[in-house]
Amino acid sequence: MTTDYRRDTVYPAFFHREQSPVWLSTVCAALGRAAPAGTRWCEIGCGQGYGMAILAAANPDMQFTGIDVNPDHIALAQARAKAAGLDNAAFICADIRDDGVVEGSFDFIVNHGVMSWVDDAVRQAIASFVATRLSDDGVAAVHYTSEPGGAAFRAFHAVFRSVAHRPNPIAEGLRALTAMRDAKAGFFQLYPHASQTLDALLADPPEYVAHEYLNPVFRPLAFHEVEALFAPRGLSWLGSATPIENIDAVSIPSDAARAIAPVRERTLRETMKDMARNQALRYDLFARPAAPLGDHAHLSLLRTAAWRLLPGAPAAGRLTFQTRIGPVEGDAAIFRPLLQALAQGSRSFDALERVSPFAGRPALLNQALQMLLWADVAHPVVPVANPAPAARLNRILLAEKHRPALVCPMLGSGLALGARDLAALGDGSAPQGLRHLTALK
């Protein structure tokens, strides 16, 4: 969102499920916060608009606005939206620091992969935009590379920037990092998660690596720095858009959890959690302060949702959650009956409350469903009044080379699918359930 941000390569297409209005509303409900009542959504730094197009097609009764500084991104986004007939999607080429970029307020404001790649002035402008444009009951989702785990990648940035002047800086940088890992350099011994990131970069498109590590600015941020951007502007931290990180019992090592338990001051508590997880990424939710819901109102809010299993979900048996602190085994006494109930079809929250062991324990059910949401095992469902935009966009996306997700209108979101499912949808041989899910009947 700044003239310093590189604009010579197009950022690859991505879909981030945490930006879905349904996802954000569901996580807010789990935290005891009513979802925004309005229907306006905005993304700061929308790239080529792939994710926003999916959400616009999945939610044709909402209005979506994407802002990006790169005119090539906006041109691609506008062409895709026009081809799919997405009248509810508007893309704006602008610097977020400019006055009057958009008018009115938004009920959801999101950004992904921006805050750690721009300078302080742009971060301040983003925070001001959110504070000015967020509706009274709206929610903002803010993604950034975080301390302390993200600090390791300053070294990656230094390597790539040191070869930025060469003809193929991506290949040169990856070669240098691989050589250091093969030599068992102390950096990779100290930061084992850096080796996993290097493996991912070796498989990622070069354009993605360029945006991640060839920008002049790259700075992991501590939670207190991001909170300090929003708090003076009247916005409070709600929790994480990553649901499992709102459940300490399965996202923090037990010894660290005991050390953190007595801490009540929020900033220190979140900082200690980041240390416990060696947190490299955060996806924070901010909103204007509101009175907490009472138990009855909170339960009524949870009971408005219905849930279904996603393709490939286990109907029973062992469920292992791959978390930042390693694999966490799901308790079979909790998850087996829940999966078996959902295997019979969509179920409302109050219907699932009647499944043992959830009778009289809605908090346990709430946490279990949040874990299934995070693990791509289950998802809330929404009424589908008009599947036509989803069908049109999915046909276009199936013809594209890179397809990180397709539209699923009954989820109000998108879903990443494997190569076999994508091929079957493309040639019309997909099972009826998958075709129904993607509106490609």
pLDDT in tens, 194-206: 999 999 999 999 9
pLDDT tens-digit readout, 242-285:
999 999 989 999 999 999 999 999 999 999 999 999 999 999 99
> According to the model, what pLDDT value does residue 282 have?
98
Query: What mean pLDDT value characterizes the chain?
Result: 95
> According to the model, what pLDDT value does residue 2 have?
44
> According to the model, what pLDDT value does residue 363 have?
96
What is the torsion angle, in degrees rounded to the nearest 10, for the CA atoms of residue 98, residue 18, residue 405 and residue 327?
140
> According to the model, what pLDDT value does residue 322 have?
85
Question: φ and ψ at 404, to 5 degrees?
Answer: -65, -20
> Helical H runs in 354-431?
362-374, 388-398, 419-427
The distance of Cα 130 from the centroid of its chain, to the nearest Å, equals 18
pLDDT tens-digit readout, 283-306:
999 999 999 899 999 999 999 999
d(CA 13, CA 332): 37
**Average pLDDT for residues 111-115, to the nearest whole number?**
96
Q: At residue 3, does pLDDT exceed 60?
A: no
Contacts of 406 (CB under 8 A, 6+ apart): 54, 394, 397, 398, 414, 415, 417, 422, 425, 438
Question: What's the Cα-to-Cα distance from 62 to each of 38, 347, 377, 438, rounded to whole Å?
Answer: 8, 25, 26, 19
Contacts of 376 (CB under 8 A, 6+ apart): 310, 313, 416
**Average pLDDT for residues 319-338, to the nearest whole number?**
89
pLDDT tens-digit readout, 359-398:
999 999 999 999 999 999 999 999 999 999 999 999 999 9
Q: At residue 1, does pLDDT exceed 50?
A: no
d(CA 61, CA 70): 28
Pairing of the two strands 40-44 and 106-111: parallel
The distance of Cα 171 from the centroid of its chain, to the nearest Å, equals 28
Question: What's the Cα-to-Cα distance from 334 to each of 202, 329, 369, rounded to whole Å?
Answer: 39, 11, 11
Q: At residue 312, does pLDDT exceed 50?
A: yes
